[in-house]
A and B are shown apart, each in its own frame.
Chain A
């Protein structure tokens, strides 16, 4: 703000003082990012790294070496890791192909009402997860009147206790994830689809290719860069998932840890048991896991290969 005001006040003098303003511009533009990065990312990250080797108690902080990391070898962390990984894999299977196909459909000129569908599919992304969590908790209620159970009754299946079993609980989480993220991923794919040159399809038409062949041979290969991007953020989103499970189980720990995620475990240990050192150790471990998974995925998809 200050600078902006200064610059507009007397632009000529300022440019003299600062030398070549062309050279300065990038620094000015990058500075706010660097500042927020340093304050909100680098500093907490370094501090978390240090805290993960400490026992942090009010008024008493002491180094305990690798104790926190050794403590990770337990059932709860195992459950959290299992749930997060399972959730990530399922979201990858759900949130890549479905939005891709929907985007292709929405992009097609034959599709009626496509603008209407585009906006309705995107609306969930604008809804607060907290509100959505409450609504979904009611949808997946265990009473006969709950929406999901009413649907089951239509097919002659008896009521289920959705949020008490591991697989049904995961299903509820996936429905919530699908509802929330499909619209956003459609948006990514749509923008990529619009950048595919129409000549390619015209040429394929001349060669006599059908719609399916065009999808397989032209659309999907040309969507690869954006697909890699979406896969990366989905992996990250999967491992970072917390709010959904927190809201679905009403902020209380889920029965038998069926909804415990790694971030949920950080929250539980760090804030509910006030074990900040151990919480930091889980956080650093999560960072390692996501880094590793993303690196493997990026290597496999050829992101690090030099273009010939």
Chain B
């Protein structure tokens, strides 16, 4: 018996050693590539004699994102960075991982303290998860603060905690109206005379009379209809201190107004119950409704998924709720952050500032990604009128519209409770109000109570 035990132990040891042997080999194989990267921090100059390409001796920067286009953007920014900063070259290793997967992996990596990338994209509605406890991200104050005057401030404030900025957005996400000009002409409506939501409703009735089509669509299982509308009025789903404010009078009134429009037939609930669905793209493509308001980034859904409306869609500010009120709202977004596992955060910060805060970086955000860059001083740059697939589709006055609403974008509050609140609005409130047609005041009160 004792002998058997001894044998087992010996066997165990052999196995364990065998396994660890494998592990060791694996490490050795990869270590040569790691070595130069680690050692060249201090001795870049001395290695200059070697005629290797910059990336070979460059600092390795691992970047995760969930959008392929973001990866391409950073790769091109890294290439131009290496050209202009040969002494601070980086070797960007960018990977695109599916949305949910990437955020989950990142959470686990940050929680366990190993395996996180240096630079990472975090989507806005996921960001509060990373602000819980002690944020495992690097403070970006020294690159954000000098530029605060030139950028839309709320685009970094949503990624902050206790006056520390942890992320920088790609874009403003200004919400605009997309009008189908052809349908408006049929109904004899001039979009520039629609100043307030009351005007809009009147125009909608005219549209319904003349064409039998709804003027606008709302999401039945999403947040992009109600949230911009309440943000226009300075309200939000969560207040500055993180309290849930779903059923405030303004919020209820807005929802009641939208529901009334649906009941009148002036508005329709989007097929697929959301604006970002295949069903909806097909519906709009065949002229299902005359307009929709969505954030700026929705432009590429038109260019890529609703091809038949090319040249027929115009971009205008949203109607205001009262004369002179805000005509836009900043919605959605993705921050790029640096994790506390980054080996050389200062260098990465410099690169991030170059890619996201600098003028040339912001111009590339428009040119490559089609987003409204966070630096408003580039909005009037002539480059914004250069021909690309967006100006071909919507005309060259896109940024004229944006400039006119520049100061009418209220900040949104993203707090710890936000992901839960968003889900409750999307999945409980919206379907009950727009599909089951229940009383908004009652539904919002229930949701508010359930979130306490």
Contacts and interface: CB of A to CB of B under 8 A. Distances in A.
Interface stretch (B3-11, B145-153, B345-353, B365-373): B3-11
B10 A253 contact: no
Given A18-B11, A253-B423, A271-B104, A58 B134 contact: yes
A19 B428 CA distance: 68
A27 interface: yes
A128 interface: no
A254 B428 CA distance: 9
Interface stretch (A1-9, A197-205, A229-237): A1-9
Given A60-B133, A142-B271, A143-B271, A257 B100 contact: no
B129 interface: yes
Given A254-B427, A255-B221, A3 B14 contact: yes
Nearest to A274: B129
A23 interface: yes
Contact of B427 (A31, A57, A251, A253): A253
Interface residues of A, number: 38
Nearest to B1: A23
B243 interface: no
Given A57-B132, A256-B431, A3 B419 contact: no
A3 B15 contact: yes
Contacts of A252: 221, 426
Contacts of A58: 110-111, 130, 132-136
B107 interface: yes
B18 A2 contact: yes
Size band of the interface chain B makes with A: 35 or more
Contacts of B423: 253, 268, 272
Given A2-B15, A142-B271, A164 B431 contact: yes
Given A2-B14, A142-B271, A24 B4 contact: yes
Given A58-B132, A142-B272, A276-B111, A19 B4 contact: yes
B273 A255 contact: yes
B435 interface: yes
Nearest to A257: B427
A273 B419 contact: yes
Interface string A2-44: 1100100000000001111001100110010001000000000
B18 A1 contact: yes
A282 B99 CA distance: 24
25 contacts: A1-B18, A2-B17, A2-B19, A3-B11, A18-B7, A23-B7, A27-B7, A27-B8, A27-B11, A35-B15, A57-B132, A57-B133, A58-B110, A58-B111, A58-B136, A60-B134, A142-B273, A143-B282, A161-B435, A252-B221, A255-B221, A255-B427, A256-B427, A271-B104, A273-B420
Interface of A: 1-3, 6, 17-20, 23-24, 27-28, 31, 35, 56-60, 75, 141-143, 161, 164, 251-257, 268, 271-274, 276
